[in-house]
């Protein structure tokens, strides 16, 4: 029976659980002015099977089985938060906010297919089961049905395979293939996995050792999960701190006098990059210099110049003086500080007899912990005791430091020079004694009989070649070339004239026709030919690589690496000693841009000139030639010369511009120390279009 009571319609009696009300407590009512039902209890239950949550203008209708926690279906749009307990099953999920415009791809599954890769997640380990067979454990991972980047990426499992044969003396690649939807493990003779429908798990070699098959397994699967961590691990294996080679920079050089310069660049640690602004201690700033004090620990100080007089014996408590004529390595590192990347110096920890021996050794293993763990080697400066000019400056980038020098013959592991069990050297008795009465013969063109090598023989300089007790050198059959007054006359035998002979070095000029000697005064080889003295010309340096100065206002050397040396040692220069220096290349620059060119010898500025480009230049030919002559020697020695640069563009009869670099008076030059000849270029503006490249350079000693 229905009745209306208190503005409510009851279907049944007043104790019924189903009635219409005006919004008071009850099962549901009609909300005035809205046109929909309100269910204060939040649910409608029909029969025993379907359960409906409340419905309003912002909540979709969902269907559940009675007393269940999982939706059967959801209809309409959900404008709000959705919470799903348990595992939801979705054909795909579309995220409008992750899409720009009418993009081709827009769903979570699109992202899954694009950034996921086929490969192993777990399992798949190979093991030797004997008889030339291996087993492959079951596993799981990801795979596609087609070799297509947009194909559906699927989770899958594969079963164990316990019987894969590896033929004798062969290598096999073990992997998994899609196989039409029934994945299986296979063995391939080559690496032919397409990495979408198939991928590798391992490499296996069956090799005969001692006439018996031996199985060798490398379980190096195509592991694709936890990708970011694996990438960081691989990058870390390249080094804790690394230079960004694509950016470049961090190049070590020595400007000024024993200053350190490192150009700007970028370094990486893991996936984090750090910018390094560079430093030039000849202009500003300092670097940390470290040495190890025995029993105490590392000591540090701020410096602008490295030392050429001290080295670090790590077994002692003070820096030691470098011995006369010894060579050392000054090590330059990049270090991480509280304010970012910086430059550190580590004192030499050994001294060497030759520059080659110093160059052959690797970097020190004893380092401050923060440099060993948070730093990187930038390069080294090879120095000679008390010489300001470096013997060589080496960057760690592109230069390999290897320890290869042998200073003890026994370290050659009995390496033979000829007959077995013989070194083919003098015995100690022969080295300490003499060879009187002994012959040295050759089995080739002829033999020398009566060779006498002694500490001193009157009339000779210590080596006397004779025949029948006469000071003569016998060449061929009976032709005698006599030694007279310490000279070897290479002329017609037994004649009264000389066509060519070598004489002992002396302080006097050559004066006899055909004479060649070492002149102690000018320190060169001289000849007397055609009635006049003629000195031999020698080449001391030839450049073998390009050197470019571009897009910088730093003073930079325009000379590159080469054969020989540009360092003139102490005592090289004598009165009248003359050198000639030629170098050439091409230049590009903008009209009105300026540049300063300098020619320097050690700390001495020989010549300089500031020029302004009169027009835009692109790969314009230039050539410099300089000649300098030593006037006086000593600590306050002097030198003078002239230099000029030619610029020419185009082919044929091109216009040539001359840029003089003049010296009006001699300048001071300390000839008692080593001096490096250098040419530098300083652009007035840092512009990518301003560059000068040296392709060829030659240094000649004219006397």
Asked if residues 677 and 626 have their Cβ atoms less than 8 Å apart, the reply is no
List all residues 6 or more positions away from 529 whose beta carbon is below 8 Å from its beta carbon: 513, 514
pLDDT digit string, tens, across residues 28-67: 555 555 545 555 555 554 444 444 444 444 444 554 544 5
CA distance 86 to 31: 35
Higher pLDDT, 522 or 189: 189
DSSP assigned state of 15: T
Count CA atoms closer than 13 A to 458's CA, side-chain side. Answer: 2
Instruction: Choose among 539, 603, 635, 693: nearest CA to 257.
Output: 603
Q: What is the pLDDT of residue 78?
A: 60
276-330 residue pLDDT tens: 889 999 999 999 999 999 999 999 999 999 999 999 999 999 999 999 999 999 9
Residue pair 284/292 in contact (Cβ under 8 Å)? The answer is no
Reduced to 3 states (helix: H, G, I; strand: E, B; else coil), residue 245 is coil
Every domain of the chain and the residues it spans: 2-74, 114-225, 242-395, 433-536, 539-701
β-strand partners of 208: 213
Q: How far apart are CA 291 and CA 313, in angstroms?
A: 9
Contacts 24+ apart (CB under 8 A), 403-411: 403/360, 403/361, 403/362, 404/360, 405/356, 405/357, 405/360, 405/361, 407/357
CA proximity to 363, closest of 353, 374, 350: 350
> What radius of gyration do the chain's Cα atoms show?
44
What's the pLDDT tens digit per position in 580-637?
Answer: 999 999 999 999 999 999 999 999 999 999 999 888 999 999 999 999 999 999 999 9
Note the CATH number of domain 539-701: 2.60.120
Give the per-residue pLDDT at 470.
47
Q: How far apart are CA 342 and CA 630, in angstroms?
A: 42
Rounded Cα distance between 647 and 619, Å, is 11
Q: Are the beta carbons of 308 and 384 closer than 8 angstroms? A: yes
* Strand pairing class (19-21; 28-30): parallel
Is the pLDDT higher at 384 or at 424?
Answer: 384
Structure tokens at 15: 């104790």
User: Do 313 and 392 meet the contact criterion of CB atoms below 8 Å apart?
Assistant: no
**pLDDT over 70 at 502, yes or no:** no
Half-sphere exposure of 271 (CA within 13 A, CB side): 7
More confident residue, 438 or 193: 193
Helix (H) or strand (E) holding 489: strand 487-489
pLDDT at position 409 is 56
Q: How many CB atoms lie within 10 A of CB 487?
A: 17
Give the model confidence (pLDDT) of 73-91 as tens digits.
555 566 667 777 778 788 8
Distance, CA of 175 to CA of 222 (rounded, Å): 9
pTM exceeds 0.85? no
Do residues 491 and 484 lie in contact, with contact meaning Cβ atoms separated by under 8 Å?
Answer: no
Distance CA 594, CA 592 (A): 6
If you average pLDDT over residues 509-532, what whole number do you get?
Answer: 72
Per the model's pLDDT, the better-predicted residue between 90 and 218 turns out to be: 218
Output DSSP code: residue 323: P
At which residue do the structure tokens 């008071």 appear?
24
Query: pLDDT at residue 401 above 80?
Result: no
Mean pLDDT computed over 243-266? 93
CA distance 453 to 464: 7
Q: Which residue is associated with the tokens 């640690």?
A: 269
Out of 80-84, 410-414, 547-551, the most confident range is 547-551
Residues 6+ apart with CB under 8 A from 467: 449, 450, 473, 474, 480
CA dist., res. 120 & res. 137, Å (int): 12
Nearest to 355 by CA among 321, 380, 378: 380
Greatest distance between any 2 Cα atoms in the chain: 162
**Dihedral (C-alpha) 492, 498, 499, 502: value to the nearest 10 degrees?**
110
Pairing of the two strands 265-269 and 547-550: unpaired
Find the DSSP H helices in 360-448. 369-374, 428-432
Do the strands 515-519 and 501-502 form a parallel or antiparallel pair, or are they unpaired?
parallel
Strands (E), 42-114: 43-46, 50-53, 62-65, 71-74
Beta 501-502 vs 62-65: how paired, if at all?
unpaired
CA nearest to 250, candidates 342, 160, 163: 342
Cα(440)–Cα(427) distance, integer angstroms: 15
Name the pLDDT band for 650 (thresholds 50, 70, 90): low
Task: Annotate 119-130 with b (16+ C-beta within 10 A) or e (fewer).
Answer: bbbebbbbebee
The confidence score (pLDDT) of residue 405 equals 52
Question: Which string of DSSP letters, residue by residue, matches 626-679?
Answer: EEEEEEE-STTEEEEEEEEEEEE-SSSS--EEEEEE--SS-EEE-TTS-EEEEE
**What's the confidence (pLDDT) of residue 493?**
41
Listed as own residue / partner, the contacts of 99-103 with beta carbons closer than 8 Å and 24 or more positions apart are: none
Query: Which of the listed ranges 35-49, 92-106, 491-505 does the model predict with the highest average pLDDT?
Result: 92-106
Q: Which residues are CB-contacts of 129 (< 8 A; sequence separation ≥ 6)?
A: 135, 162
Helix (H, G, I), strand (E, B) or coil at 110: helix
Percent residues over pLDDT 90 in the chain: 55
Per-residue model confidence as pLDDT tens digits over 188-217: 999 999 999 999 999 999 999 999 999 999
Q: What per-residue confidence (pLDDT) applies to 476?
A: 40
Task: Grade residue 18 by pLDDT with cuts at 50, 70 and 90.
Answer: very low
């Amino acid at each position: 029976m229905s009745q209306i009571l208190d503005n409510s319609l009851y279907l049944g009696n007043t104790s019924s659980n189903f009635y219409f009300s005006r919004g008071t407590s009850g099962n549901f009512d009609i909300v005035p002015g809205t046109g929909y039902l309100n269910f204060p209890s939040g649910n409608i239950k029909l029969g025993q099977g379907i359960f409906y949550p409340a419905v309003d203008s912002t909540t979709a209708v969902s269907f559940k089985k009675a007393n269940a926690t999982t939706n059967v279906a959801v209809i309409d749009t959900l404008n709000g938060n959705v919470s799903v307990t348990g595992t939801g099953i979705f054909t795909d999920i579309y995220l409008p906010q992750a899409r720009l415009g009418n993009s081709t791809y827009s769903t979570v599954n699109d992202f899954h297919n694009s950034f996921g890769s086929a490969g192993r997640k777990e399992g798949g380990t190979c093991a030797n089961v004997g008889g030339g067979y291996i087993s492959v454990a079951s596993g799981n991972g990801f795979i596609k049905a087609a070799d297509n980047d947009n194909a559906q990426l699927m989770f899958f499992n594969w079963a164990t395979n316990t019987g894969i044969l590896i033929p004798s003396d062969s290598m096999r690649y073990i992997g998994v293939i899609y196989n039409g939807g029934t994945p299986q493990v296979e063995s391939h003779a080559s690496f032919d996995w397409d990495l979408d429908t198939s991928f590798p798990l391992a490499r296996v070699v069956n090799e005969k050792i001692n006439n018996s098959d031996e199985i060798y397994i490398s379980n190096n699967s195509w592991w694709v999960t936890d990708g970011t961590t694996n990438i960081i691990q691989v990058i870390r294996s390249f080094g804790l701190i690394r230079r960004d080679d694509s950016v470049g920079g961090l190049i070590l050089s020595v400007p000024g006098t024993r200053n350190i310069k490192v150009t700007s660049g970028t370094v990486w640690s893991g996936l984090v990059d750090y910018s390094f602004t560079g430093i030039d201690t000849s202009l500003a700033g300092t670097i940390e210099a470290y040495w190890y004090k025995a029993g105490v620990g590392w000591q540090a100080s701020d410096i602008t110049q490295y030392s050429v007089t001290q080295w670090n014996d790590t077994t002692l408590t003070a820096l030691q003086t470098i011995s006369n004529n010894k060579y050392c390595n000054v090590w330059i590192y990049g270090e991480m500080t509280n304010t970012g990347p910086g430059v550190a110096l580590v004192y030499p920890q050994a001294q060497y007899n030759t520059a080659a021996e110093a160059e052959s050794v690797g970097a020190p293993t004893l380092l401050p912990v923060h440099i060993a763990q948070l730093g990187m080697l930038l390069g080294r400066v090879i120095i000679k005791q008390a010489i300001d000019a470096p013997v060589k400056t080496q960057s760690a980038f592109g230069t390999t430091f290897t320890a290869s020098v042998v200073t003890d013959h026994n370290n050659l592991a009995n390496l033979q020079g000829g007959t077995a069990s013989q070194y083919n050297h003098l015995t100690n008795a022969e080295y300490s004694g003499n060879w009187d009465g002994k012959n040295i013969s050759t089995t080739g063109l002829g033999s020398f009989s009566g060779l006498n090598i002694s500490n001193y023989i009157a009339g000779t300089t210590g080596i006397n070649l004779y025949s029948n007790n006469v000071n003569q050198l016998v060449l061929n059959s009976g032709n005698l070339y006599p030694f007279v007054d310490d000279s070897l006359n290479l002329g017609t035998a037994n004649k009264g004239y000389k066509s060519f002979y070598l004489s002992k070095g002396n302080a006097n000029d050559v004066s006899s026709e055909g004479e060649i000697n070492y002149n102690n005064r000018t320190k060169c080889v001289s000849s007397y030919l055609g009635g006049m003295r003629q000195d031999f010309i020698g080449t001391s340096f030839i450049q073998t690589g390009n050197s470019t100065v571009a897009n910088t206002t730093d003073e930079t050397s325009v000379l590159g690496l080469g054969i020989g040396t540009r360092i003139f040692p102490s005592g090289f220069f004598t009165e009248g000693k003359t050198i000639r220096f030629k170098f050439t290349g091409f230049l590009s620059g903008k009209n009105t841009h300026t540049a300063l060119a300098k020619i320097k010898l050690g700390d001495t500025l020989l010549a300089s000139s500031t020029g302004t480009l009169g027009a835009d230049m692109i790969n314009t030919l230039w050539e410099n030639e300089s000649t300098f002559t030593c006037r006086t020697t000593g600590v306050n020695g002097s030198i003078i010369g002239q230099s000029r640069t030619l610029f020419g563009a185009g082919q044929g009869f091109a216009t040539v511009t001359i840029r003089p670099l003049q010296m009006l008076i001699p300048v001071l030059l300390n000839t008692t120390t080593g001096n490096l000849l250098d040419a530098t270029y300083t652009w007035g503006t840092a512009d990518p279009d301003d560059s000068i490249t040296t392709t060829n350079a030659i240094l000649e000693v004219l006397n």
